[in-house]
Amino acid sequence: MISKINNKIDIFLKVLFISFPIFIILGPFALNSFSLIFSIYAILNYKLLISSKIFDKRILIVFFSFIILIFPFESIDFENSFLKYLSFFRFLIMLIGLILFLENTNKKENFLDIVYKTYTIFFIVIAIDVYIEYFSGSNILGFSSNYMGRIASFTDDELIIGYIFSFLVLFSLVFIYRKIKNLYFFLIICVLVVTSFFIGERSNFIKLFLLIFIFCFFHIFYLNKFKLKNLFIVIFVSITLFISFFEITKNTYVGKRFYYSFNNNIKEEFFSTKHAAHYTTAYKIFLNNPIFGIGINNFSLESSKEKYQNSNFNPSSTHPHQIYLEILSEVGLLGSLYFIFIFFYPIFIALKFFKKYREINIISHLLLHIFFIFPILPSGSFFGTNFGLPFWFNLSILIYLSKKSKI
């Protein structure tokens, strides 16, 4: 009886894990429910945590004790920040729950391969839906965007399908690479990049394009035996594809909107956007509160003050739309130390693991991790649900794969 119940729970958790991208589309309530379930899983399986070989106890101490660095010591609204500070623990506990779940599940079967296959299907469906909306004006559910040059797809008025598409592509990139021969693989990623371009989210397109480009060079110089003629072929094909892509897209609305930035002074173009108001306001807030910041979740309250007002754009927003400026303005330099560790320690252990074992799956999650912590370009709110939870979801897999050899 108990065995049957455990099997049903195991199946339920697997379905949840596989369905994670759908939860991103559904929004914060679905994501928080996901987080709550795997947090409960972590608490109920605390004995597994004690015996687990994956968790370095010193690193766990850093994750949990050093969280004091982001405590709202000088918060401009302590109650608001303190509640958000407490809710931040859900990310860490969920992280542990996901790693324990993978440790328990993936050793019995190659569960992650099922996840990669499913996520590949997800982004294929999204890609088809994007083209349907691009050419017909609405997606298969009848959703359409009110923002000229942007695709809504399944996210309706949220307009974050480009972010979700990038998440799925990078998550499954190596899986596709392993399954498909070189020529077809490069043709597929060309289609994926074009799809991202037509979605119209410039920041996510640039991140995806650069990270896929890095992976292609990684393939040429590291995964395969390097040959000079192959480099020339790749350069020639890349230039040809780029020119063809430019000629095809330059007269589209998305193309005009995108290329306009490069035909003009990029600095002037940037400062004519609302993101510039958010960036500069976050920087001013940081200068005024450099050590402890203003407290998590207080950017909206602080940025609405008269001293930050901009004649062109309203600087007030829920967050600065740039992950590093959000962290600096809300938790200051002291809190930034904590996140520098969280951002760069996984990169170190992932590269160390790959160098030793050459397990290529980890590269997908490493690229996705870099996508989340990409500097300069706009991003979602790190302390928010839609951007924050997927970051920790991917981080759990990155850490699990980096430590898997210890199981």
Q: Does a structural domain hold residue 131?
A: yes
Asked whether 316 and 303 are in contact (CB, 8 A), the reply is yes
Q: Does a structural domain hold residue 246?
A: yes
Neighbouring C-beta atoms of residue 377, cutoff 10 Å: 15
Q: Does a structural domain hold residue 104?
A: no
Asked whether 191 and 142 are in contact (CB, 8 A), the reply is no
- So what's the pLDDT on residue 250? 65
What are the φ/ψ torsions at residue 311 (nearest 5 degrees)?
A: -70, -25
**Paired tokens of 137:** 């004006």
Phi-psi region at 153: left, alpha or beta (left = phi > 0; alpha = psi -120 to 50): left
Asked whether 143 and 154 are in contact (CB, 8 A), the reply is yes
For the chain, the straight-line distance linking the first and the last C-alpha, in angstroms and rounded, comes to 29
Cα 361 to Cα 173: distance, rounded to the nearest angstrom: 9
Q: Does a structural domain hold residue 182?
A: yes
Cα 165 to Cα 161: distance, rounded to the nearest angstrom: 6
In eight-state DSSP terms, residue 45 is T
Q: Does a structural domain hold residue 122?
A: yes
Cα 153 to Cα 320: distance, rounded to the nearest angstrom: 25
Cα 360 to Cα 353: distance, rounded to the nearest angstrom: 10
Cα 222 to Cα 349: distance, rounded to the nearest angstrom: 19
Closest CA to 394 of 374, 365, 372: 365
Cα 140 to Cα 398: distance, rounded to the nearest angstrom: 34
**Paired tokens of 271:** 């400062």
**Paired tokens of 33:** 């429910």
Query: Full-prediction pTM beyond 0.85?
Result: yes
Cα 47 to Cα 334: distance, rounded to the nearest angstrom: 33
Neighbouring C-beta atoms of residue 104, cutoff 10 Å: 16
Asked whether 112 and 364 are in contact (CB, 8 A), the reply is no
- So what's the pLDDT on residue 150? 86
- So what's the pLDDT on residue 315? 60
Asked whether 191 and 127 are in contact (CB, 8 A), the reply is yes
**Paired tokens of 328:** 């600096």
Q: Does a structural domain hold residue 204?
A: yes
- So what's the pLDDT on residue 229? 63
Mean pLDDT by 10 residues, the chain (407 residues): 76 94 94 96 85 76 87 89 91 93 79 94 94 91 85 88 95 90 80 89 90 82 64 68 67 64 60 75 91 91 79 68 93 94 93 87 94 92 92 95 71
Cα 194 to Cα 151: distance, rounded to the nearest angstrom: 13
- So what's the pLDDT on residue 35? 96
Show the domain range for 190.
111-263
Give the number of domains in the chain: 1
Cα 144 to Cα 154: distance, rounded to the nearest angstrom: 9
Closest CA to 298 of 65, 35, 87, 85: 85
Q: What angle do CA 340, 343, 346 make, to 5 degrees?
A: 125
